[in-house]
Chain A
């Protein structure tokens, strides 16, 4: 090898690549190898690297499916066991707020998808705008959720020592058109609300983590990190955000809607 410099200290070269900002093409002394800083040397092609990234992200999302799946299963089982309690407690949820939140979350996901597109076509300002809109709608979702939780707090529908079954054992006193439940079945409404808070709370935690990541991504996008062909962080965050979206697409009908019809 004529060029001994390249072999003396490979770590120097890696360091050099890491520090290069903004991302640009590099041609080595022989003028043969174009390396982008985001293109790791152990991948044959950039496409292979991109696919490996998507694959890894999907493996993570599969563990998330199993995580939420456990709670979905608990819901399914308890709904079958304590159906009357689940019907009346589900009817206490606010369908209007739930439906509005579904639309808000779909809108947020729509802007996220447009953000991925903006990164692909290297429109920096559009990408920043889309990420901000994604964040705004994400925060709006959490805002609506706050008012829903507040309502549950006021009605003593948060499981624990202050939980009250009064609305379910004596619905007439609360102007509810429900059949009164026997006290032991009315106690089971706590299980519904426990699952409601566990599932929507875990979903909201994922939203909060996502919004924190969105701040970080927006800042990096603003500095131009994702407008020169390097879109992997935006794309993989998009996968996460859409996954959180999908969880809500199932939570909404299961918690708010499917028990509704017995009431007239």
Chain B
């Protein structure tokens, strides 16, 4: 990682001498087992929570929160994003950010078209 090397090494415009992505991390099988266990527990919790009548809109909120947590775990560990370069991390983040912007803007349009007409 660039922040671990001295300044002159970090000053490497073509990113060749000491590339940021120089070290290649291999995730251990034990770590995958923990991730697998966490995902199965998350599935059990989300099924259980669906049959509990929670106040207000909490049911979908909790279900989606668990789904998002599971997705983040998969992205970070199964898809190795935690160990990737900042370029890949930024790409993944930008993709989800753009997706949220698109959903929000479109939903705002649909919700405000008939504003005050009911």
Contact = CB atoms under 8 A, between A and B. Distances in A.
Contacts of A77: 107, 110
Interface string A242-256: 110110011011101
B47 A99 contact: yes
B117 interface: no
Contacts of A110: 32-33, 35-36, 39, 78
> Of B27, B79, B85, which is in contact with the most chain A CB atoms at under 10 Å from its CB?
B79
Contact of B29 (A69, A114, A258, A261): A114
> Of A62, A239, A253, A261, which is in contact with the most chain B CB atoms at under 10 Å from its CB?
A253
A44 B14 CA distance: 9
A51 interface: yes
A65 B98 CA distance: 10
Interface in A219-264: 235, 238-239, 242-243, 245-246, 249-250, 252-254, 256-258, 260-261, 264
B24 A106 contact: no
B88 A51 contact: yes
A55 B50 contact: no
Looking at chain A's contact residues, the main secondary structure is helix
Contacts of B75: 242, 246
Given A106-B43, A113-B27, A249-B70, A55 B91 contact: yes
B13 to A, nearest CB: 12
Contacts of B64: 250, 253-254, 258
Nearest to A70: B102
A94 interface: no
Nearest to A245: B74
B14 A120 contact: no
B79 A257 contact: no
A242 B107 contact: no
A45 B16 contact: yes
Contacts of B14: 44
Interface in A90-111: 95, 99, 102-103, 106-107, 109-110
Contact of B74 (A51, A242, A260): A242
B1 interface: no
A249 B74 contact: yes
Contacts of B106: 73
Contacts of B5: none
B43 A102 contact: yes
Contacts of B110: 77
B107 A261 contact: no
B95 A44 contact: no
A50 B74 contact: no
A242 to B, nearest CB: 5
Contacts of A258: 50, 59-60, 63-64
Interface of B: 14-16, 19, 21-22, 24, 26-29, 32-33, 35-36, 39-40, 43, 46-47, 50-54, 59-60, 63-64, 66-67, 70-71, 74-75, 77-80, 84-85, 87-88, 91-92, 95-96, 98-99, 102-103, 106-107, 110
Given A73-B107, A250-B71, 8 more contacts: A58-B92, A62-B95, A106-B39, A246-B75, A253-B60, A253-B64, A258-B63, A261-B52
Please provide the 3 A-B residue pairs with the shortest distance between their CB atoms, ordered closest to farther: A62-B95, A257-B50, A253-B63
12 contacts: A45-B16, A47-B21, A47-B22, A48-B16, A55-B91, A58-B91, A242-B74, A245-B74, A249-B67, A258-B60, A260-B51, A260-B59
